[in-house]
Every structure is written in structure tokens, then in C-alpha cells.
Amino acid sequence: MLVPAASVTPRPGAPERLARMIALPTVSAELEAVGREPFRAFERLLAEEYPLVHAHLEREQPSEFGMLFRWPGRSDERPVVLMAHYDVVPARAEDGWTHDPFAGVVEGGAVHGRGALDDKGPLLVILEAVENLLAAGFTPAHDVYLSFGGNEESYGDAAPIASDLLHQRGIRPWLVLDEGGAVIDDPMPWVHVRSAMVGVAEKGIMTVVLRADGVGGHASAPRGTTATARIARAVRRLERNPFRPRLPRSARDMLGTFATHAEGPARFALRVLAAVPWLTARVFARLGGEPAAMVRTTLAVTMLSGGSAPNVLPAGASATLNLRLAPGTTTEQVQRRLRRVIRDRDVRIEVPEASDPSPESPTDGRQFDAIRSAVGAAYPEAATVPYVMMQATDSRWFHRYSPATYRFAPLAMDAGQRAAIHGVDEWVSIDSLERGERFHRALLTALQD
């Protein structure tokens, strides 16, 4: 049945449903402490709050913390996958929260608590849209899959298992949409336009451990280069030789989109930046911070270890590096460069975790047009802007075989809210939840041919 998105009346109570989700402490990083009951309770809560979803969609559990729903459409061609995760990072009330992070407080036109933005709020607006469309008798033109994971924050297996399952069944998603970008104001210092930032690519991630051995003993009689000095020298060489900057295609598209909405000198400057990528890459690299991270592989030393006492030479030392790989780079290339820059055979390089950057999904196809149209229905004042995500999402397990994979949570987030993700006082406005539901409803009803 075809149902126009505008003709559907959303049911009331979405903020309270989100509050009940938040009240369940699904902290995957503390699984041994909190146990599995909050996760099982979350599944029961979804069944209680979304009866039509559970009555009409096929549900399976590919993994302990993964839920996969299939909404049969009139065709199984060009399926759509909507993703979210229901686990959250740790939060402590004593860290300065205004409201207990797991109380689920609805107050002042907002829902407060851990997961309001990351990622229970985005999960809620997906389910709200589907439940409302089912109540109106809507049947999608194409199969729709809802893939929800409960261990994204702990780099768990829910998403890769779900992705592998669909791949083994020969299901190649036409569109995948996961968390990532949001609707923000003033996306750049000289750009003052509300923007729906859609991640069309995400950087790869590598954890690298540098290790060196040394001769232990008393610190009063050091011999040769100590293990700690060897690691310190390697770190210094890496920090003094950053990766070469390069402007990815999606960043050029972003600047070009901003140029169409800017005025005066800012419009001219943005057009120049979009047209001369080699220059822009160097300018952004010199700016540092997020602009630099946009155009190069970044390296941060996050952990150092070595020694057990002030007067004892350590027998070993190590440094842990976190790298975010720019599009077009591979983990093998990065390892070779690390070895070349360090120039020390006595420093071992170990890579406990690595994944390549995603391909850059197109911005000139029907899938991106569908996202832009849905943004227009929910946030008519916002421009839809592609960008490269710095963080990793579960969607990376789908972009291996689904070239149209995007990262966008249709919620408005100001700078303070974005800082509260994984921080203190996370909250989402009720207006934003209403618009997020409208976005997904518009997206699903627009994919009719």
C-alpha cells in the first residue's frame, strides 16, 4: 500500500520511550560488571514498545548482541539497510551530570541521559518511523532491513556477523545508512548555514604498538641506548614527519556545496579551495585540528610504558599509537611508512587492530538524492553536505560490498551536544526526535520505484 509520508500521524510518547531505553545501562565495555540482563531487557522493551514492528517484520538474532529485522517489500531487489547500535559508553553521575546518566529524564523539551544521541536516539527514530508507517498500512517498495548491534562501542561482532549473513545470502544493499553525521549550525568558521552532514566515507583505524628491549640494571650505570630512549626516539621521528596531506573527493564536494550557500568573499574562497585541491590540502594541514585530520592520516601517541622504579633501567618499553587512515590509504602502506620513518630495526612494530578506510560513496546517485530529499522533508532549512567521518562506525562492515554506504543520524546537534557524546550531560531535543522520525518516514516512502 502506498502511503504518503505527510499523511501519517505519528503516535505520541516517543520521548518517554527513549527515556525507558536510556534507563537500561547497556554498557558493552562493562559487560562483565553489568551482566547481560540490561541487553536482554532492552530487547524485551523493544518488543513491548513496538508491537507492529515485531508482528510484521521477520526478526532473527545472528549473534548474541545483534538483532536483524526484515520488512518484506513488494520486491527483494535494491534492499535498504538502516543501522543503529543500542550499547553505550560508561557514564558516572559523580562526573558532573546534571541528571543521573541512566535515569532517562524528560525535561525542558529534551530527553537527557547516556545514549540520547549515541545511539539510542537514532535507533528510536528508525523504529518510530517504521511503527507509524505500519499503523498506516504502508508496505515498502523494496525490502528494508533494520540492523541493530549491542557491542559497537566495544568493537564487537554484531555488525560484522550481520553483514556476513546478508552477504552469504546474496543480498547486496542498494543503500546502507548508519550513525555518523548530524544536522549542525555553522559547520566551518566562514560558513553560516545549517547543514545536514552526511558521511560518505570514514577513515580507517589502526592500533600500533612499538616495542623495544633493553638491558636491565641499575640506572647509575646505563649502557648504550636504553629501551625507553629507543621508543622515545621513534615517537619523536614519527611526530616530526607527519603523513602527506591530500584532499579527498568528498572534501572537495563538501567545499563546493558550502560555496553554493555562502556569500561574498567566503563564496569565492570556498570555490577556490574546492577547485585547487593540492593547495587546500596544504592550507588545511597547516591549520591543524579537524581541518588537518580531514586531509591526512593522523597519528596520536596514546599510551607509553617502560620501567618500574626511578632508579632501575627497564628491560623493555612500548608506545601505543592510534592512527586514523585517510581515504585512499591502506594499512600495509602505513606500516611500511612507519618502518621507514622510525629507521630502527630494534623497534618492533605490532598491529593488534587495523581496518582500511572505506571507499567514498557517490554523491551524484539516486541514493544520495534520496537522503537529500528526506533531509528536505525533516529539515527544510538545511543543506545536505557530504564529508569524511573521522570516527569508525559499524557501517564499515557493509561498505565492503555495498558501494552506497552513508553515515547520518537525522538529529540536530549543537557544539555542546556533540561534545557531550562520550562526555557529560548528553541530551537530545524532542523537536529533533520528531524531525528524525519524519526523515526516516520520508526516506522509506520515497523509495517507491
Q: What is the per-residue pLDDT across 240-264, written as a single tens digit (0 to 9) for each?
A: 999 999 999 999 999 999 998 888 8
pLDDT at site 1: 58
Q: Which of 237, 231, 394, 260 is nearest to 320 (CA)?
A: 231
102 neighbors 22 (Cβ within 8 angstroms): yes
pLDDT at site 288: 86
317 neighbors 212 (Cβ within 8 angstroms): yes
Rounded Cα–Cα distance for residues 147 and 35 (Å) = 22
Higher model confidence: residue 26 or residue 155? 26
b/e burial code for range 130-166 (CB count within 10 A of at least 16 → b): bbbbbebebebbbbbbbbbbbbbbeebbbbbbbbebb
CATH classification for the domain delimited by 5-186+196-202+360-446, as one of 3.20.20.140, 3.40.50.360, 3.40.630.10, 2.60.40.420:
3.40.630.10
pLDDT in tens, 210-233: 999 988 777 877 877 899 999 999
Q: What is the mean pLDDT of residues 425-433?
A: 98
Backbone angles phi, psi at 172, to 5 degrees: -115, 105
Q: What is the mean pLDDT of residues 264-277?
A: 90
Q: Structural domain boundaries of the chain? A: 5-186+196-202+360-446, 204-243+299-356, 244-296
pLDDT at site 6: 61
pLDDT in tens, 87-106: 999 999 999 999 999 999 99
Rounded Cα–Cα distance for residues 47 and 69 (Å) = 12
pLDDT at site 175: 97
With bands split at pLDDT 50, 70 and 90, how would you rate the model's confidence at 11?
Answer: very high
413 neighbors 101 (Cβ within 8 angstroms): no
Domains 5-186+196-202+360-446 and 204-243+299-356 share a fold: no
pLDDT at site 2: 60
Q: What is the mean pLDDT of residues 257-279?
A: 90
The class level of CATH for 204-243+299-356 reads alpha beta
78 neighbors 17 (Cβ within 8 angstroms): no
What pTM does this model have? 0.92
- Inform me whether the pLDDT recorded for 187 exceeds 90: no
Helix, strand, coil % over all residues of the chain, rounded to 5: 40, 25, 35
pLDDT at site 34: 87
pLDDT in tens, 388-413: 998 889 999 998 899 999 999 999 99
- Inform me whether the pLDDT recorded for 265 exceeds 90: no
Rounded Cα–Cα distance for residues 231 and 233 (Å) = 5
**Grid cell digits, residue 412:** 540536530
pLDDT at site 312: 86
Q: What is the mean pLDDT of residues 135-163?
A: 96
